[in-house]
Structure 1
Amino acid sequence: MNANRLVPILAASLALGACSQMMQQGTSAARNGAPLGTTAPEVTEDTPEAIRAAAAVTRAPAPRPSARATAAQLDTTTAEQRQAAATPATAAETRLGTTVASLGDATQPGFWIKTPLVNEAGVGRIVNPANGRSAQVDLLPLGGAASAGSQVSLPALQLLGISLTDLPTIEVYRL
């Protein structure tokens, strides 16, 4: 086999191995529906009903370790969750601003956005102003300037009607 064909195969193998190791290390976080390295907002008896309802929509189980790198296999949200996440919140919202969105870690389940527009985890909504579609999401802090971009979960981008390779500007709201 010539070297030009071997390099992509080795690169893919290393990437898959790293993903597998990251998924194994993050199993407990993934089981809780939280992206690795972040903590989803804690929901307690004292949490307002609107936020409890939104948090129930945004969480999903981790993809199976055998999942291929296809959107259909990595998106573990249910049809009911997608429908509920697409329904705008009935509680009052605060507009946090706009951000350039990119696909975050596609292996992390649920509806979430990692954004420098928040300093602490919470629940909110993101909107694609190009088509008006929205998604309820967990708001997760991401270091950097407020003008820096944000990472969005695969199911949330799909719900907004955004191609996984696009870099659109979206609106971010907190419940």
Structure 2
Amino acid sequence: MINSFPRFLGALALLAMAACNQTGTNSATQSAPKTDPATGQPVIAGPDLTGTAPRTPGKVVSASTIGASAAQTVANLDTTTRTEKAEAAAPKTGGQRLGTTVASLGDPSQAGFWMKTPLVQSETNGRIVNPATGKSANVQLIPLGGPASGGSQVSLPALQMLGVSLTDLPTLEVYSG
């Protein structure tokens, strides 16, 4: 055991010297100083990288497969029942007009007929109308922070009932009651 210890120290010293040689600079691998063309500021020197990142063997990635496993259809996200849809579509008139708001699609995974809007201070039943189509939906109005002139978020089934594309930003009329 005593004889093997000096051998171990010798091998450790050789490894340490080899590691020191790896950290030295090699003028062949470094390029001239570079500047950022957008700002004119110097860029930190480093090795010039060429080629592409390694890929997982056998895996093919194309524009048509990116995000395919996470994609869901509108039908899959709309979990409302026929009864809920009938209640939301039941014609109502009257109610207090709260104003108009620019609406966008809210969280599509949140079920039901609702609108998050800064036009209300507490949850209440209400109705939203798309003046472009005349279609309306009975919804739960949920407070949303921000000024009254701020935008609102609408549930997926409510937007569908109003005949609004999920990527549009329609101006909707909001009524309480």
* Shared fold per TM-score greater than 0.5: yes
Instruction: Find the counterpart in structure 2 of residue 164 from structure 1.
Output: 166
Cα deviation, residue 112, structure 1: 0.2
> TM-score, normalising length from structure 1?
0.61
Residues 50-104 of structure 1, C-alpha deviation per residue, up to 9 Å, x if partnerless?
xxxxxxxxxxxxxxxxxx52110111112232122112236x4111000001000
Aligned with residue 80 of structure 2, among 77, 82, 89: 77
- The structure that has the greater radius of gyration is 2
Confirm or deny that 1:107 pairs with 2:109: yes
Structure 1 runs of 4+ with >3 Å offset: 2-6
Q: Compute the TM-score of the two structures, normalised by the length of structure 2.
A: 0.60
Superposed counterparts of 1:25-36, under 5 Å: none
Paired position in structure 2 for 1:132: 134
Corresponding residue for 1:152? Answer: 154
Q: Aligned partners of 1:119 and 1:81: how far apart in 2? A: 25
Higher RCO, Cα 8 Å, sep 6+:
1
Q: Give me the identity figure in percent.
A: 62
Which residue type is aligned with residue 138 of structure 1? Q
CA distance in 1, matches of 2:162, 2:82: 15
* Per-residue Cα deviation, 1:23-50 (whole angstroms, up to 9, x for no partner): xxxxxxxxxxxxxxxxxxxxxxxxxxxx
Give the equivalent residue in structure 1 for 2:144. Answer: 142
CA RMSD of aligned residues (A): 2.7
**Larger helix proportion of the pair:** 1
Count of paired positions: 119
* Counterpart residue number, 2:31: none
What 5-or-longer segments of structure 1 have no aligned partner? 17-67
Residues of 2 paired with 1:69 and 1:147: CA distance?
32
